[in-house]
Amino acid sequence: MTAAPSPSYDRIVELTAAELRERLPEALRIYVDAMGYPPSTAQQRGPMWAAHMLRPGWRCIGAFNDADELAGVGYGYLGAPGQWWHEQVRRGLLSTGGDPDSWLADYFELTELHVRPDCQGAGLGEEILRRLLDGAQGARVLLSTPEGPTRAWNLYRRVGFGDVLRNYRFTGDPRPFAVLGRPLPL
């Protein structure tokens, strides 16, 4: 018995907000599957992702297999005071004696980066990350990822992300997260 050929991902492209909106249910399924969240999470996240598309500096990369199915997606925008994530990280840095002003000025927030679980481990996440950050605005990039030895964690370390805040619990998620950052460009 021969194994089925692995799908190709030669279509990795920047998506407009309209193109992501068209694929939003598919993108949210990837997010839910990759993060291990209950399916109902997609209903809560859909309006949030749509609102993010309106933020300054927003950009998105999508990876498609040869059947035109979304295999991975990543997006981000310029972080700013008043945004939920910015305020959460600011609070975390202040509570640990960190200096939020040194990190939270002029940054691109890597908000989401997810690859379908059956497509992970072949470098697709790194390709999406590199394309997303190539030309991203801001002096640095910041992101949050669950603590622990995951493929995402290893990817971020491999491309030079360092610790900004560790073992932080964001409102609404009981798991500990790391906030990681690095200068731009990659």
The set of catalytic residues is 156
CA distance 177 to 27: 22
CA distance 92 to 27: 29
CB 63 within 8 A of CB 125: no
CA distance 101 to 19: 35
Helices in 36-158 by DSSP H: which ranges?
41-52, 84-95, 100-103, 124-133, 151-158
3-state secondary structure 72-99: EEEEEEECCCCCHHHHHHHHHHHHCCCC
